[in-house]
Amino acid sequence: MDVSQLSSMISSLSDIHSRLQLLRNAPPLLLKSSMSFSAPSIRSDFEQLKELGDTIRSDSVQEALRTATQSEKADRSDLNRNGRREIRKRRRPPSPESPQPYIPYDKRSASLFPTASDDPPPLRADGLPDYLRDFNRTHSSKLHIWTRIRGSTQLSNPAVVRFTIRDVLVCYITMEYAAADPVLVTESVTAFGPREKKSPHSQSDFLVYQTLSQQIARMLQSHPRVAFQSLVNLMCTYEGIFIDRCTSCERVLSAEGHVPPVVRVWMDAGKEGEKGRWEPRHASCPQT
Ligand SMILES: [Zn+2]
């Protein structure tokens, strides 16, 4: 095999990689309940997905993938995280953020959390027990480490924390951390009704909790490395989910679907002495 063959294989594989990254932005759009499935952008996403599938199945790409697998088996010494980071750096302008597991290509989808300057220092796995103790002492909602085995105190990885607002909801927050850098990175949040007895990775039977899980997924996607404390601050605002009015239409239940306001929009402090706050909105109401 000559160099030109190899370089054409590499370019077709990196093309597939970037098309795949672009398509990863499609699911959060689907989560917007106000958006119809027939919207042109969704239709074109599905077309792109189909095209990408056809491309991947084509003989030339399959051959390139086989070659890549063989080459990796033969010598993987140059394949490390830094190598991947180098490639990413060349393709995108350098960003001040630390490397993230998933980088959205669309820079317009800015973080839905308060701006980074307000972020508390990210919580690490070893600081979790103290943080939970302190939180439970000062808040009416409660946080507990959840383990598969009853009575186990060992923090697993991924770690699961149960967040409870009495008579309102239970959320399972799943987080990962690396041994070398044990900062807790939230992977998913699943919301359930207060009396549902379900495992952290299943789904609620109720629309309101399903919608809430989807909304938090959307927020996490906008800020994948949000500090655990900021996430918990957000979660606390759901205490009034069944009584708070949407600040856009001023109703508790949405006209469409009769769902309470699961969206939270961060409002920066306006005047001096004022504090920023989370405002409740319906997913179907304007969010700006
Ligand atoms: Zn509304």
Residues 122 and 256 in one domain: yes
Q: 253 CA to middle of ligand 1, Å?
A: 7
Q: 274 CA to middle of ligand 1, Å?
A: 24
- Say what the pLDDT of residue 107 is: 44
Q: Which of 150, 165, 219 is nearest to 188 (CA)?
A: 219
Beta bridge partners of 192: 170
Q: 211 CA to middle of ligand 1, Å?
A: 14
Q: 136 CA to middle of ligand 1, Å?
A: 32
Q: 27 CA to middle of ligand 1, Å?
A: 23
Task: Encode pLDDT of 221-274 as tens digits.
Answer: 988 889 999 999 999 999 999 999 999 999 999 988 889 999 999 988 877 777
Residues 174 and 86 in one domain: no
Q: Domain for residue 104, yes or no?
A: no
Q: Domain tally for the chain? A: 2
User: How confident is the prediction for the chain on average, in pLDDT?
Assistant: 82
* Strand segments (E) across the chain: 142-146, 159-165, 169-176, 185-192, 263-267, 277-281
Q: Domain for residue 98, yes or no?
A: no
Q: 260 CA to middle of ligand 1, Å?
A: 8
Contacts 24+ apart (CB under 8 A), 237-243: 237/264, 237/278, 237/280, 238/165, 238/168, 238/169, 238/212, 239/140, 239/141, 239/165, 239/168, 240/280, 241/168, 241/169, 241/208, 241/212, 241/280, 242/168
Residues 68 and 190 in one domain: no
Q: Domain for residue 148, yes or no?
A: yes
Q: Domain for residue 270, yes or no?
A: yes
Q: 245 CA to middle of ligand 1, Å?
A: 8
Rg of the chain taking only CA atoms, in angstroms:
22
Task: Encode pLDDT of 146-163 as tens digits.
Answer: 988 777 767 889 999 999
Residues 127 and 195 in one domain: yes
Residues 264 and 144 in one domain: yes
Q: 255 CA to middle of ligand 1, Å?
A: 8
In terms of Cβ atoms closer than 10 Å to its own Cβ (0-12, 13-18, 19+), residue 22 is middle
What span, in angstroms and rounded, lies between the C-alpha atoms of 11 and 16? 9
Q: 22 CA to middle of ligand 1, Å?
A: 31
Q: Domain for residue 99, yes or no?
A: no
Residue where a domain terminates, one of 75, 91, 107? 91
Residues 120 and 87 in one domain: no
Residues 142 and 267 in one domain: yes
Note whether 264 and 278 are within 8 A (CB): yes
Q: 254 CA to middle of ligand 1, Å?
A: 5
Residues 31 and 144 in one domain: no
Residues 258 and 141 in one domain: yes
Q: Which domain holds residue 83?
A: 3-91
What span, in angstroms and rounded, lies between the C-alpha atoms of 244 and 249? 12
Residues 226 and 259 in one domain: yes
Residues 136 and 67 in one domain: no
196: pLDDT strictly greater than 70: yes
Residues 206 and 120 in one domain: yes
Note whether 207 and 259 are within 8 A (CB): yes
- Say what the pLDDT of residue 70 is: 85
